[in-house]
């Protein structure tokens, strides 16, 4: 379980996350949803211990984000962080040297599933392939907590389906927690157990996807449109 208590993060005069108190439940696929600039990436970076809150406290199973918690989580950043000169296989070896939870068997089978080749060089492959390579490196670890920042951004619909299939392929409900940020909820609606709607650094609404759907008698896409319409977005 990840808890935020009065968490604020500022960049100069911009308040990226504004006094947020909330809980991300364990063992679920959680959608962190919201328009551009609502604070999704900053939230994920603070969980990944890449940014520190200016105020408040974050705990992951009772521990503050640190080098130790970072080693047990897998984080897919929005940016292209892969070394351009590396091959897919080389990138795998690189990650393997860092993480004890690396699963070589999973790496090999997922590489085939994603139609990636060991000798492909990162700088020579397409953007969609690089997105798949990033996902390959994240899901080749047996991490209990997976943070995916905009995994579908700029990816064509065929590759999107493959990425969604990868996310659910080995997902073990109750054991692994996946938090994924996106503003493209229609693509991931069927995947999500739990949703958090963010806007201007605050949480507008959160809850079990099923409960929200039945309470409101609406799909999450319709609900999201309504939530943000009320905020005049
Ligand atoms: N390193 C930074 N320096 C300055 N401002 C930042 C930095 N990171 C985020 N911000 C600002 O904080 C606010 C929240 O940004 P954040 O990237 O968390 O939002 P987001 O919901 O992930 O947006 P997007 O969907 O566009 O990725 C924005 O106004 C952004 O410009």
Domains and CATH numbers, the chain: 2-230 (3.40.50.300)
- Per-residue confidence (pLDDT) for residue 160, from 0 to 100: 84
- Per-residue confidence (pLDDT) for residue 233, from 0 to 100: 63
Q: Is 130 in the pocket of ligand 1 (CB under 6 A)?
A: no
Q: Is 65 in the pocket of ligand 1 (CB under 6 A)?
A: no
Q: Which residues contact 12 (CB under 8 A, 6 or more apart)?
A: none
Cα 204 to chain centroid, rounded: 19
Q: Give the Å distances, CA to CA, from 134 to 2, 34, 87, 94, 161.
A: 24, 23, 12, 13, 16
- Per-residue confidence (pLDDT) for residue 225, from 0 to 100: 82
Q: Give the Å distances, CA to CA, from 192 to 79, 140, 205.
A: 23, 21, 15
pLDDT band at 202 (very low <50, low <70, confident <90, very high): very high
Question: What's the pTM value of the predicted model, to 2 decimals?
Answer: 0.92
Cα separation, 212 vs 206, in Å, equals 9
Q: Is 140 in the pocket of ligand 1 (CB under 6 A)?
A: no
Cα separation, 151 vs 133, in Å, equals 11
Phi, psi of 169 (to 5 degrees): -50, -55
Cα separation, 205 vs 227, in Å, equals 8
Q: Is 34 in the pocket of ligand 1 (CB under 6 A)?
A: yes
Q: Is 206 in the pocket of ligand 1 (CB under 6 A)?
A: no
- Which has more confidence, 105 or 78? 105
Q: In this predicted structure, which of 47-56, 82-91, 171-180, 224-233 has the lowest mean pLDDT?
A: 224-233
pLDDT in tens, 134-171: 999 999 999 999 999 998 887 788 888 888 888 888 78
> CA nearest 4: which of 33, 50, 43, 51?
43
- Per-residue confidence (pLDDT) for residue 159, from 0 to 100: 82
Cα separation, 30 vs 224, in Å, equals 15
- Which has more confidence, 80 or 197? 197
pLDDT band at 127 (very low <50, low <70, confident <90, very high): confident
Cα separation, 111 vs 113, in Å, equals 6
Dist. CA 201 → ligand 1 center (Å): 9
User: What percent of the chain lies above the pLDDT cut of 90?
Assistant: 61
């Amino acid at each position: 379980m990840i808890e935020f208590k009065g968490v604020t993060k500022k960049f100069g005069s911009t308040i990226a996350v504004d006094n947020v108190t909330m809980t991300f439940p364990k063992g679920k696929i959680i959608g962190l949803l919201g328009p551009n600039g609502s604070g999704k990436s900053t939230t994920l970076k603070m969980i990944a211990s890449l940014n520190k809150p200016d105020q408040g406290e974050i705990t992951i199973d009772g521990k503050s984000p640190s080098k130790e918690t970072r080693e047990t989580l897998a984080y897919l950043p929005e940016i292209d962080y892969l070394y351009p000169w590396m091959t897919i296989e080389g990138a795998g070896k690189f990650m393997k040297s860092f993480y004890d939870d690396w699963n070589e068997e999973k790496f090999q089978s997922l590489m085939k599933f994603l139609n990636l080749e060991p000798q492909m060089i990162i700088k020579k492959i397409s953007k969609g392939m690089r997105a798949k390579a990033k996902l390959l490196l994240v899901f080749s670890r047996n991490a209990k907590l997976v943070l995916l920042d905009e995994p579908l951004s700029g990816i064509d619909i065929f590759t999107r389906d493959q990425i969604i299939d990868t996310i659910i392929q080995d997902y073990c409900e109750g054991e692994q927690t996946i938090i994924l940020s996106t503003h493209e909820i229609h693509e991931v609606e069927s995947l999500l157990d739990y949703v958090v709607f963010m806007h201007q650094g605050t949480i507008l609404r959160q809850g079990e996807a099923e409960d929200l759907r039945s309470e409101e008698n609406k799909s999450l896409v319709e609900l999201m449109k309504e939530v943000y319409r009320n905020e005049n977005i």
